[in-house]
Amino acid sequence: MAPPPTAARPLRRAASVLHRRAGLRLALLLSAPMAWLVLAYLGSLAVLLLSAFWAVDDFTYDVERVWNTANFSTVLTEPVYRAIALRTLGIAVAVTVIDAVVAFPMAFYMARVARPRTRKLLVVAVLTPLWASYLVKAYAWRVIFSQGGVLDWLVGPLGLSSPGYGTTAVIVVLAYLWLPYMILPVYSGLENLPANLLDASADLGASAGRTFRSVVLPQVLPSVFAGSVFTFSLSLGDYVTVRIVGGKTQVLGTAIADNVTLNLPLAAALSCVPVVLIVGYLLAVRRTGALESL
């Protein structure tokens, strides 16, 4: 066999060096992504955390690099911020509970009742709205909740009226937006349930209700927790939906956004609240083994 043309030689030599040295391969593979994630991302987060310890000049609104913890004590002690944090937490919990309650029967129908052909179609039907713009969906609900809007028109004959823009609207819209994130993990949890477990339960004389309580629910609970990671964290950090349908409702997201331009240190301290809550929730959920089913 003729020797390879000279241009190909350095390439082949590089290839053989890479082939022999797995450590070098790994280092090259990791270099660029880690440079990006550690420098660009963790670096930014560090800058943000650091600026939470700075102060703002009361007159010029300039950031002064004076080390202090006043921002954190403001966030922790001011009743306004405590109320905002509790409200945000309440919204996130309500959204998660609503989504779990709505998603479960739908996922159950998809996984256990529908025929295989229909099942495929239903999965696509649940998934498609995820691709429709987030903003457009929130906006559609703004039209629905508006005064004299669709909801008023719908429930008006019953003597009711739309709750208008506010906390209720925020909960409804967030639950709507994140519903597919709950349905999909619960669906795959239910689908992976071995049929013979259910048969065994029936053979031992359990009614459908008893099988559901004692076999299905304990097995699928981790999937519900997996879905709740999405619904809970996404609700905690949201601020655009709140701006669109929340009226004057203040949540952590809007409080952070409001402070960014005039008081970045306070905004930075405030943003530690959802981060701590989300990381705490992730750690708590990890103990149930739910994160493996993501």
Partner 1 sequence: MILSRRTRIALRAAMVAGLAVVYLPLLLVLLNSLNRDRSFAWPPAGLTTQWWVRAWQSEGARSAVLTSLQAGAGATLVALVLGTMTAFAVQRHRFFGRQTVSFLVILPIALPGIVTGIALNAAFRTVLGPAGIGFGLLTVVIGHATFCIVVVFNNVVARLRRTFPSAEEASADLGAHTFQTFRYVTFPAVRSALLAGGLLAFALSFDEIVVTTFTAGPGVQTLPVWIYANLARPNQAPVVNVVAAVLVLLSVVPVYLAQRLSADSPGGRL
Q: Please list, in sequence order, all residues whose beta carbon lies within 8 angstroms of the beta carbon of residue 221, skipping any fewer than 6 positions away.
A: 288
Nearer CB in complex with partner 1: 86/125: 125
Instruction: For strands 63-64 and 55-56, give the pairing.
Output: antiparallel
Q: Interacting stretch for partner 1, rule CB under 8 A, among 67-75, 76-84, 142-150, 163-171? A: 142-150
Q: Residue 75 interacts with partner 1 (CB under 8 A)?
A: no
For 208-214, the CB contacts below 8 A with 24+ separation are none
Indicate whether 256 belongs to the interface with partner 1 (CB under 8 A).
yes
Which residue from 189, 222, 227, 237 is in contact with partner 1, where contact means CB under 8 A?
Answer: 237
Residues touching partner 1, count (CB under 8 A)? 96
**CB of residue 116 to partner 1, shortest distance in Å:** 13
Cα(235)–Cα(178) distance, integer angstroms: 8
Residues 169-198 that bind partner 1 (CB under 8 A): 176, 179-181, 184, 198
Alpha carbon separation from 188 to 108, 110, 129, 194 (Å, rounded): 10, 10, 18, 12
* Shortest distance in whole angstroms from residue 79 CB to partner 1: 23
For residue 182, the minimal CB distance to partner 1 (Å) is 11
Report which residue type is found at 86: L
Rule CB under 8 A: say whether 36 interacts with partner 1.
yes
Question: Could you say whether residue 96 binds partner 1 (CB under 8 A)?
Answer: no
Show contacts with partner 1 in window 105-124 (CB under 8 A). 105-106, 108-110, 112-114, 120, 122-124
Select 110 or 222, whichever has its Cβ closest to partner 1: 110
Contacting residues for 207 by C-beta, under 8 A, at least 6 apart? none
202 binds partner 1 (CB under 8 A): yes
97 binds partner 1 (CB under 8 A): no
148 binds partner 1 (CB under 8 A): yes
CB 205 within 8 A of CB 105: no
Q: Which residues in the 217-236 window bind partner 1 by CB under 8 A?
A: 233, 236
Pick the binder of partner 1 from 85, 170, 238, 250 (CB under 8 A). 238
What is d(CA 83, CA 81) in angstroms, rounded to the nearest whole number? 5
Contact status, residue 201 vs residue 211, Cβ threshold 8 Å: yes
The end-to-end CA distance of the chain, in Å, is: 52
